[in-house]
Amino acid sequence: MNVIEIGKRARAASRLLARATGQARAGVLFALADHLVDASDAILEANQIDVQQGRRDGLTPAMLDRLTINPSRLAGMAADLRSLALLVDPVGEIFDETVLPNGLQVHKQRVPLGVLGVIYEARPNVTIDVAGLTIKTANVAILRGGSETINTNRVLVKQVQVALSENGLPPDAIQFVDDPDRGRVLELLQLHEYVDMLIPRGGAGLHQYCRENSRIPVITGGIGVCHLYVDETADLEAALTVIQNAKVQRPTVCNALDTVLVHQEIAFEFLAQLVKYLEKDGVIFKADPAAMEALRLSRQDVPASVSPAIEADFNTEWLSLVLGLKVVASMDEAIEHIARHSTGHSDGILTQDQEHAQQFVAEVDSAAVYVNASTRFTDGAQLGLGAEVAISTQRLHARGPMGLRELTTYKWVIHGEYHVRKG
């Protein structure tokens, strides 16, 4: 099937999904959870074909790990679908109700966004994750997974389509571009007539490609050069644990810490403690000249885990156990550094001073701004959204973790008594 035909079918399915009850949509998720368990033999078998091909193609162990489905991961996917099904349905919610002076009754009503295009890489769990979020919010989706996982995705999408049919909903609500040719991605990016929003889930290259080639609005995000600024009033012992958590707990994700900015008044004392504290976790450090000097003075020699930073280091999303260190003369300098180097994902201050906290929050313009907490909380589940489809670092539509509500739009509904406009 060509991509335009897929788009037409998606648009047609979209109208049916928008009319489906919340109960029917949740029913699909419960059914799908059951089918993932029932069909586990077929799923694991297809996944093994992809994994073996991946090995032959020389995928890295990390990529092979992301590609692999095992019975416990499958059970996790099913459990996630069941929790998702139980989240409050945003579709149909009425808000901003008002009666105008002329008597017109006006409100907004939350409706599905329509057709989502989702382009992702070698993680088959995204297929189920996105299908669940899409159906729960009465949207439909066109999925384009990585070619490395095509056999797994075929079987997974089939389960989704069976669950849709069983609940009286069109199987075209979740379609899969089943062609590894990359030309299909470009075709998908042109389908503005049939696709309302594009969500790339992958690295910076994929996001850039989509932004440059798409005629459909793109949600870009998921790239985080994240900062914590340690103010001179911070509780330094507590700061160590927050920085450790932000850097070490899961260094490969976008909300992991990349750079620590330290006020010069405490740099001499704190940097030596920090390096000592994180060295045992295997962290290595890229330090600016002042941080190098502070470490030299406090520890006699610079530890082997520390090397001088080059300017580009402070623009790097490390996704590994590397941490930038920089000494600043003031909070203003820290805020200025963040304005220049942050990707607008997650940045925070550690401080005991309320006024400093207030100024930092007012002036740092990132999707998530923290006072005395780890950047690792920028996550739909952690921030109480229940689920997330992406973390947006752009400014339109939604910013930060995008949950169910962010997969909807609204319409204005106006009731009158044969009202006419005067003037």
Binders of its own copies among 341-380, rule CB under 8 A? 348, 350, 357, 361-363, 365-374, 376-378
Task: Work out whether the CA dihedral 254, 258, 261, 267 comes out positive or negative.
Answer: positive
For residue 246, which of 262, 273, 224 has the smallest C-alpha distance? 224
Binders in 107-166 for its own copies, by CB under 8 A: 109, 111, 113-114
CA–CA separation, 412 and 421 (whole Å): 17
If phi > 0 it is left, if psi is from -120 to 50 it is alpha, else beta; for residue 386 that is left
**Closest CB to its own copies among residues 21, 305:** 21
CA–CA separation, 406 and 112 (whole Å): 10
**Closest CB to its own copies among residues 18, 87:** 18
Binding string, residues 62-91; x marks residues near its own copies by CB under 8 A? ------------------------------
Binders in 291-350 for its own copies, by CB under 8 A: 339, 348, 350
Could you tell me where the beta strands, DSSP code E, fall in 231-303?
257-263, 284-287
Q: How far is the CB of 344 from its own copies (least distance, A)?
A: 9
Which span sits near its own copies by CB under 8 A: 13-21, 168-176, 269-277, 325-333? Answer: 13-21
**Closest CB to its own copies among residues 94, 297:** 94
Cβ–Cβ < 8 Å for 159, 35: yes
244: amino acid identity, one letter? Q
Among 2, 52, 70, 241, binds its own copies (CB under 8 A): 241
Which span sits near its own copies by CB under 8 A: 67-75, 161-169, 284-292, 409-417? Answer: 409-417
Total number of residues binding its own copies (CB under 8 A)?
A: 71
CA–CA separation, 52 and 44 (whole Å): 12
Tell me how many degrees the CA angle 372-243-386 measures, rounded to the nearest 5. 65
| DSSP secondary structure, 206-247, as one string | HHHHHHHH-SS-B--B----EEEEE-TTS-HHHHHHHHHHHH
Q: How far is the CB of 1 from its own copies (least distance, A)?
A: 22
Binders in 211-240 for its own copies, by CB under 8 A: 211-212, 215, 217-218, 235, 238-239
Q: How far is the CB of 132 from its own copies (least distance, A)?
A: 21
Q: How many Cβ atoms from other residues are within 10 Å of residue 252's Cβ? A: 11
Q: How far is the CB of 356 from its own copies (least distance, A)?
A: 13
Rg (CA), the chain: 24
Q: How far is the CB of 165 from its own copies (least distance, A)?
A: 22
Using DSSP, state whether 322 is helix, strand or coil. Answer: strand
Among 83, 165, 245, 316, binds its own copies (CB under 8 A): 245
277 binds its own copies (CB under 8 A): no
Which span sits near its own copies by CB under 8 A: 23-31, 75-83, 244-252, 317-325? Answer: 244-252
CA–CA separation, 116 and 409 (whole Å): 13
CA–CA separation, 157 and 178 (whole Å): 10
Pairing of strands 226-230, 346-350: parallel
**Closest CB to its own copies among residues 63, 383:** 383
**Closest CB to its own copies among residues 252, 382:** 382
**Closest CB to its own copies among residues 11, 286:** 11
